[in-house]
Chains A and B, each alone.
Chain A
Amino acid sequence: MPRVLAPLLVLLATMAAAADDGMARLRASGIMRWGCDISGGAPFAFPDPSDPDRVIGFEVEIAEELAHRLGVRAERFSADWLALIDALEADRCDLLINGFEVTADRERVVAFSTPYFRYAQQLVVRAEDRDRFTSLADLAGRPIAVLNGSASIESLRSAGVPPSLIVEYDDSLAPFTETVIGRVDACLQESFIARFFAGHDPRLAVVDATFDPGVYAVVVRRGDDALLAAVNAALADMRADGTLGRILQRWGLWSDAQRELGTDRGPIVATIPEAIGTPPEDGLPWSLVLWSLARAAAMTALLTIVSMPIATFVGLLLAIAILHGPKPLSRLCHGYVLLTRGTPLLVQIFLLYYSLPALGAWLGIPELLTWNKVVVGIVCLAANYAAYEAEIHRAALQAIPQSQWDAARALGFTRAQTLRFIIVPQSWRLSLPAIINDLNSLIKDSSLVSMIGVQELLAVALGIGKASFAVPSMLVAAAAFYLALSLLADWFGQSLERRARTVGALPEPIHR
């Protein structure tokens, strides 16, 4: 995720109105909305490789147990990991359970519960370097890969590794593949992740020594004291009665270090197969996977099919306003086009989604909060593409000769009638190929709304890919779906162009 978003965190945090006490809200609604990023990979919260619709993971089980003890139902809220704290501040969810390490930086912004897991940092190197690199000191001057935003970065910094040698990646699997390929010489992450992703891989070796221990805890908004107290009480029970210990054992995460948090191991239970971190033996369950991808492709299609016509129509209105509107309106619309084209779509999606609640409170329209992600996604895509379509329409409108305006004026048409019945039907033909071209880009740009947790094609493909160690084949599968959608769009575009070429034989113009 681009770094430019970092200052926005502060902005949004101050914008978000102080929410009602979370505990009162939990009781009233009977629902605990817990935030996580399901594309973050195993074993936290991830799509089950054998049934990609189901989200599993040790944090899913902790969340469910926690909700149960609070007397409410758990409801998962998904968003990009780096956006989760903003989601919490914006009251999109009540708390976060997603491998948030307790750090002084974060404590300035949010409040942490008592910990539920203890980890330590562990190095992974290529198998052939097993004897060469046995500690951080052996890696002096060599690039080391880490997960973006993780505590591993702070560990390396405090060990004196220069920032230029700390290579950050957006997903948890990438540091391992980069190590195998050789772009970096090692990767550093929390020990159980190292075991999960590298333990089974003959090309990698996990360095024995661990260092810089830390803890994960539940994140709540600052000042949400009643909720925090209730969560702490429930966690204390779960630690003491062996429930937490059992969950950690099931997921192969138990170690004696957990006892230091006061966690009781509980009865010994076996590790479940999903926790081992090996690819499914008989390969991916392709029929289920393709079904999941097909439904994700339907989401991508929905985003595109709804937002493109809006963008095309709004773009036309913008172009007409720019060319023929009164000067202030024309300037305003031109400014909108410049601003929208000049800023990243990702930033627009992010800003709109996380500033809506504050905006709703400010405008006195609390319903804005309940706009769901898909609606926000469609609004953003449509608003962004409208700016591009406006320029296409503008060029096409200007390409219609002045003599058409003269002929219409001499017949007594008003300006509005001339545009509607004479100019736009002709400019539409000219702009159509460029608009179909943009329709094709939109199909692919729609993947950016996964930033706010919409489960579209690319997000689902990556989620399944990471959970089942099959990122490349899932990307190829996703690309095939994108290609199919794009071919459909072209076919649709061609039939539109054919229609636009036929001539209106009746007084009714062809495009009304």
Chain B
Amino acid sequence: MTTPALEAQGISKRWPRTGAVLADCSLRVERRTVHALIGASGSGKSTLLRCLGLLEPPDAGSILVDGVLAVDQGFVAQDRSVRRSVGMVFQEPSLFAHLSALANVALAPHRVLGLDPDAARNRACSALDRVHALHLADRRPDELSGGERQRVAIARALVMEPTVLLCDEPTSALDPLLTREVMAVLRELALDAGTTMVVATHDLDFVAAAADSVDFLHAGRIRMSGTADLLGTRGLDDELDRFLQRS
């Protein structure tokens, strides 16, 4: 059995004021597969992704990235190479407002990986090309549409060649047309390029077309796990039925 790209065991998280958001969540993401997290708003998808992205220390549980222990008993490893191996795309693109699209993508290769500016630029150009945004290289973030911004944000995460790319509802802030544009890019990355991804999303068409495995989150717990076929089932679980009906 090969080492999974990402493995989480017993992740729990409780916010001091509002109470528990995650309880004993475990998941396993194989290489070159797409893992979808579905569930209603507030079910804990974002928090789980922030824990997996090493942005939020869980209260308990462990996370292994490519077999390397990144979080153990709730403590996050300080090793930067582990952090770099997990890429993240947020709901909001959060581009660096003072830099052009190209510089947004090239900054981390230059400053974090220590590549010289030319090498960093070249790498950034090919990352932008993968999301069909090379023609936007010299634009400022405020000159881009929401979809273009999110594509640049995906390129910014991809350029670091992460072991796994986490996407936290990357289209929730976009209208349907732009949603299609961004999801098309993600689908292409998943199907053609074999990128390992964990995607929290409401877009069930995307899940049906691209996801190899699916977890259904409800009230901070992983209630159902399976393949994309889970979306076609009825009567297995009341909450899943309710969620599928509403979506």
- In the complex, whether A313 has a CB less than 8 A from a CB of chain B is no
Given contacts A429-B98, A505-B138, A507-B117, contact A411 B103 (CB under 8 A): no
Q: Is the CB of A410 within 8 A of B98?
A: no
Return the CB mask of A389-420 against B: 1 if under 8 Å, else 0. Answer: 00000000000010110111111111001000
- In the complex, whether A270 has a CB less than 8 A from a CB of chain B is no
Q: Is the CB of A410 within 8 A of B55?
A: yes
Q: Is the CB of A411 within 8 A of B96?
A: no
Q: Is the CB of B55 within 8 A of A406?
A: yes
| Total count of chain B residues near the partner, CB < 8 A | 38
Given contacts A411-B112, A507-B117, contact A404 B83 (CB under 8 A): no
Interface residues of B in 117-141 (CB under 8 A from A): 117, 120-121, 124, 138, 140
Q: Which residues of A contact B95 (CB under 8 A)?
A: 407
- In the complex, whether B84 has a CB less than 8 A from a CB of chain A is yes
The distance from the CB of A417 to the nearest CB of chain B, in whole angstroms, is 6
Given contacts A403-B92, A406-B55, A412-B83, contact A506 B117 (CB under 8 A): yes
Q: Max chain B CB contacts within 10 Å: which of A414, A429, A506, A507?
A: A507
Q: Max chain A CB contacts within 10 Å: which of B81, B90, B124?
A: B90
- In the complex, whether A504 has a CB less than 8 A from a CB of chain B is yes
Return the CB mask of A417-458 against B: 1 if under 8 Å, else 0. Answer: 100011001100100000000000000000000000000000
- In the complex, whether B94 has a CB less than 8 A from a CB of chain A is yes
Q: Is the CB of A426 within 8 A of B90?
A: no
Q: Is the CB of B90 within 8 A of A503?
A: no
Q: Is the CB of B80 within 8 A of A507?
A: no
Q: Which residues of A contact B120 (CB under 8 A)?
A: 507
Q: Is the CB of A410 within 8 A of B86?
A: yes
Given contacts A403-B90, A425-B98, contact A504 B103 (CB under 8 A): yes
Q: Is the CB of A410 within 8 A of B103?
A: no
Residue of B nearest to A409 (CB): B55
Q: Is the CB of B106 within 8 A of A401?
A: no
Give bound CA distance, A410 to B159, whole Å. 12
Q: Is the CB of A412 within 8 A of B160?
A: yes
Q: Which of B96, B108, B111, B124 contacts A426 (CB 8 A)?
A: B96
- In the complex, whether B157 has a CB less than 8 A from a CB of chain A is yes
Interface residues of B in 139-186 (CB under 8 A from A): 140, 153, 156-157, 160
The distance from the CB of A399 to the nearest CB of chain B, in whole angstroms, is 12
Interface residues of A in 493-509 (CB under 8 A from B): 503-509
Q: Is the CB of A406 within 8 A of B111?
A: no
- In the complex, whether A55 has a CB less than 8 A from a CB of chain B is no
Give bound CA distance, A425 to B100, whole Å. 13
Q: Which of A404, A417, A429, A504 contacts B112 (CB 8 A)?
A: A417
Q: Which residues of B contact A413 (CB under 8 A)?
A: 108, 111-112
Given contacts A406-B90, A417-B111, contact A411 B117 (CB under 8 A): no
Given contacts A426-B96, A503-B100, A504-B100, contact A414 B90 (CB under 8 A): no
The distance from the CB of A258 to the nearest CB of chain B, in whole angstroms, is 74
Q: Is the CB of A410 within 8 A of B117?
A: no
The distance from the CB of B184 to the nearest CB of chain A, in whole angstroms, is 23
- In the complex, whether A510 has a CB less than 8 A from a CB of chain B is yes
Give bound CA distance, A407 to B156, whole Å. 10
Given contacts A507-B107, A507-B121, A509-B107, contact A411 B156 (CB under 8 A): yes
Ordered by A's residue number, 27 sampled pairs between the chains whose C-beta atoms are within 8 Å are A406-B88, A406-B94, A407-B88, A407-B153, A410-B53, A410-B55, A410-B86, A410-B157, A411-B157, A412-B80, A412-B84, A412-B108, A412-B112, A417-B112, A426-B96, A503-B98, A503-B103, A504-B99, A504-B103, A506-B106, A506-B117, A506-B121, A507-B106, A507-B110, A507-B117, A508-B110, A508-B117
Known: A411-B157, A417-B111. 19 other contacts (CB 8 A): A403-B92, A406-B90, A407-B95, A409-B55, A410-B55, A410-B88, A410-B157, A411-B108, A422-B96, A422-B107, A503-B103, A504-B99, A504-B103, A505-B138, A506-B102, A506-B117, A506-B121, A509-B99, A509-B107
| Interfacial residues, chain B to chain A (CB-CB below 8 A) | 53-55, 80-81, 83-84, 86-88, 90, 92, 94-100, 102-103, 106-112, 117, 120-121, 124, 138, 140, 153, 156-157, 160
Closest 7 pairs (CB-CB, A-B): A507-B110, A410-B88, A412-B84, A411-B108, A403-B94, A507-B106, A407-B94
